[in-house]
Amino acid sequence: MFNSLSDRLTATFKNLRGKGRLTEADVDATVREIRRALLDADVAVPVVREFTGRVRERALGAEVSAALNPGQQIVKIVNEELVEILGGETRRIRLAKTGPTIIMLAGLQGAGKTTLAGKLSKHLKAQGHSPMLVACDLQRPNAVTQLQVVGQRAGVPVFAPHPGATSTELDHPAGDPVAVARAGVEEARRTLHDVVIVDTAGRTGVDAEMMEQARQIRRAIVPNEVLFVVDAMIGQDAVNTAMAFDEGVNFTGIVLSKLDGDMRGGAALSVSSITGKPVMFASTGEGLDDFELFHPDRMASRILDLGDVLTLIEQAEKNWDKDEAARMAKKFADQEDFTLDDFLAQMQQIRNMGSMKKMLMMMPGAQNIRQQLEQFDEREIDRVEAIVRSMTPHERVAPKIINGSRRARIARGSGVHVSEVNGLLERFAQAQKMMKKMAAGGGMPGMPGMPGMGGGGARKGAKAAPKKKARSGNPAKAAQELKDAEARRAAGAKALPTGAAFGQQGGDFDPSQLNLPKGFDKFLGGGK
């Protein structure tokens, strides 16, 4: 969503590189470009005026003039100001001290409240809570049915005593939404659910009837949190809608939906600053798992193309199988052979982390290769998995036996060309060689300053590398010694699968531009 804004800001900061000091004219030109970028992104004019004013004031202050690198200091100032207009700090749900925590959802029709109710319930369930959904949207046709389907997918019960409106009785909804909300909270207390999420009705626009109904529900259930769900794609109108809902129901937090859209995203930078209420969650896709806690500092880093490594690490910790990781670590430590079966298991781990595009876009500097990443085919992982599964158990353990006829059979079984099978086997062999060096040196080759990574000197207490044994003068005995040495090298080959599944045949993706350690491009299929 912030691609256009990121591109404009990154281009602006590039003009500051290499300057020993910044003049007032340099600062004014930079602030002017930032202002244009924010306005083009549909950020509200009052927010833009206040933001650029603070940036200019700080940029002309002592903190820049005394800096060793003024250009980087400007980036730091903009980053800090972005964090402020996005809410300043991460805000989590305030849980009730006694009884169930009541969360009321409010917003316009089409903002994604019903789907978000399922996402939020699944998010809370994963944290050990026992949520229950309450269907109070009795106006929109089949809204109750939709919530029941979403609740079933999330594994969360839904309290829906009335079916709501159908396509034939739009003007005569069944039941009173205020009574349903009150009964839902009582049912949650009776059944010992510790969180109640109340899905309310919306309209295509703010109207008095809608707001009055929301106020009555709020008075009836006295929620701990009232979350205003806003479509991040509606632009400047998001500010007016947010102000109307804040006045009507006094919401306590904001949820940005459809943050994965291709619009300009100014709502995300405006709503929190205008209303003074924090953005608490963000919906980033259609799936129930495409939902995350909103961190203002991480979002600011994404906008400025500084990466979001913390979120990437959290996703890995949440989805990575710890037992499998421990098994692979032990296998690597024991210097056992790494097989294609291990490779397949690790590839499944990577798949569980979600979209490769989203993960790679969290890397610092990823905006520079956004076009290549957008061309990346997520189905490549499926093709690689099909190739490996088309091999026999013996072939996966000993890939060197895969000759021409076997490769042709594997290609037919997986529905790919023989060249793709060849490419996968070549990358797998390269990974084995690389990991053999890692095991021998105790670290990753090509990364200076770290043990076993080259250029960092010998580790304290590390054993010296054994000297090569002199070869015998007897030709027959020398030939046998050479043969034994090659056998030992082959038996000691090991590899990690990380990224080997990402290789593309003939794509434009160039992983070398991600500033990864030397040799990692071969893992991603970009090395030659």
Residues 461-477: tens digit of each pLDDT = 444 444 444 445 555 66
Q: How far apart are CA 358 and CA 3, in angstroms?
A: 13
pLDDT < 70 positions in the chain: 1-3, 18, 62-68, 165-174, 204, 235-236, 260-265, 267-268, 307-322, 324-325, 327-337, 353-378, 435-528
The first and second tokens of residue 353, run together, are 């982390």
What is the b/e burial string over 26-63, where b = at least 16 CB atoms within 10 angstroms of the residue's CB? bbeebbebbbebbeebbbbeebbeebbebbbebbbeee
Q: How far apart are CA 455 and CA 453, in angstroms?
A: 7
Q: How far apart are CA 269 and CA 267, in angstroms?
A: 5
pLDDT of residue 462: 42
Q: Which residues partner with 197 through β-bridges?
A: 103, 133
pLDDT of residue 79: 85
pLDDT of residue 153: 92
Which of 149, 41, 108 minimizes the C-alpha distance to 249?
A: 108
Q: What is the pLDDT of residues 160-213, one digit of tens each?
A: 888 776 654 544 455 789 999 999 999 999 999 999 999 998 876 777 888 888
> DSSP state, 240?
H
Q: How far apart are CA 255 and CA 291, in angstroms?
A: 10
* Residue 283 phi, psi dihedral angles, 5° rounding: -100, 125
pTM above 0.85, yes or no: no
pLDDT of residue 131: 94
